[in-house]
């Protein structure tokens, strides 16, 4: 029997027992047209990432960020769930998935119909005021940004985290808008570099993993502590770990099963094997 076929059979047996915690990364969304940094379709970062400290400390940094993000949102906002997202949602409806921890900020798990989703790094579809903490839809901000910049147009390579690579000349003149309620600075409701994930959210993710019968990692290279810590937790508790990813990961030595394969086709196969309906 081909090694991949045997691995999928083992994966089906593991997931079929239920109580599965899913940890997803950028590799799950590449088939939706959202690039990643480390996978086979990844691209090198072409712009320095925005840090929380720069964002709150510099009006010019905020102008640069929102100009780039305004362009990038056109691709992120139009992205649709792929077969992998739909498969995870189908497994949840079947009662096999106990919870989903995603490192992604694209909202595609929820768009596919998944319900028990914890967005570890937040979501680009929301905006938060740093003064009054009110959260508003990103679509409303995009409407306001367009109204404030009716003649502004730019294009650039889209980064995986939803911003575009723009020149200083392209950014110049872009008008940023503030909170309509208190006039405070607006920030996407995501975790920037230099910013910590709220401890209650991290604890909630650990609880999902600790209460699972198995951990299924999908499309994450596990090269940074953000995701790897949950694999380490599962390993410490003796919870079986299955990893489906294109390319090696930082958690392979802890895994019970690793499968280097395309996510959409593999998870669709898994759903078919397990008879999960409404796919």
Q: Any bridge partners for residue 97, and if so which? A: 20
Task: Kindly state the tokens that stand for 31.
Answer: 């088939």
Query: Which of 85, 109, 121, 277 is the catalytic position?
Result: 121
| DSSP tag of 27 | G
**Catalytic residue at 121?**
yes
Q: Where are the alpha helices (DSSP H) in 28-100?
A: 52-57, 59-76, 83-93
Widest CA span of the chain, in angstroms? 64
Task: Kindly state the tokens that stand for 221.
Answer: 């290279």
94 closest CA partner among 210, 15, 22: 15
Q: Is 26 helix (H, G, I), strand (E, B) or coil?
A: helix
Q: Which residues are annotated as a binding site for NAD(+)?
A: 25-45, 103-106, 219-221, 245-247, 263
Task: Kindly state the tokens that stand for 245.
Answer: 């990813």
Residues in the chain: 279
- Host H or E run for residue 203: helix 199-210
15 closest CA partner among 279, 247, 274, 275: 274
Class of residue 6 by CB neighbours under 10 A (exposed 0-12, middle 13-18, buried 19+): exposed
Cα separation of 246 and 190, whole Å?
26
Class of residue 26 by CB neighbours under 10 A (exposed 0-12, middle 13-18, buried 19+): buried
174 closest CA partner among 202, 204, 146, 194: 146
Chain centroid to CA 191: how far? 11
- Which residues are part of the catalytic machinery? 121
């Amino acid at each position: 029997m081909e090694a991949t076929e045997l691995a999928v059979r083992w994966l089906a047996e593991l997931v079929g027992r239920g109580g599965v915690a899913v940890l997803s990364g950028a590799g799950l969304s590449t088939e939706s047209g959202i690039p990643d940094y480390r996978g086979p379709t990844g691209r090198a970062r072409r712009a320095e990432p925005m840090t929380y400290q720069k964002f709150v400390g510099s009006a010019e940094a905020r102008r640069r960020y929102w100009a780039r993000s305004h362009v990038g949102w056109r691709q992120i906002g139009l992205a649709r769930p792929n077969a992998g997202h739909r498969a995870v949602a189908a497994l949840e409806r079947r009662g096999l998935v106990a919870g989903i921890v995603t490192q992604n900020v694209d909202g595609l798990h929820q768009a596919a119909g998944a319900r028990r989703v914890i967005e570890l790094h937040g979501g680009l579809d929301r905006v938060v005021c740093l003064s009054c903490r009110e959260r508003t839809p990103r679509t409303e901000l995009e409407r306001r940004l367009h109204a404030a910049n009716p003649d502004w147009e730019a294009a650039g390579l889209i980064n995986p985290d939803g911003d575009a690579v723009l020149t200083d000349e392209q950014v110049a003149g872009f008008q940023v808008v503030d909170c309509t309620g208190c006039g405070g600075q607006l920030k996407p409701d995501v975790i920037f570099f230099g910013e910590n994930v709220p401890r209650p959210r991290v604890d909630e993710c650990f609880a999902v993993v600790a209460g699972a019968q198995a951990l299924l990692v999908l499309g994450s290279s596990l090269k940074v502590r953000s995701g790897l810590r949950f694999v380490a937790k599962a390993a410490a508790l003796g919870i079986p770990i299955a990893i489906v990813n294109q390319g090696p990961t930082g958690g392979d030595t802890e895994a019970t099963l690793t499968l280097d394969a395309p996510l959409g086709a593999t998870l669709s196969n898994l759903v078919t094997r397990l008879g999960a309906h409404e796919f």
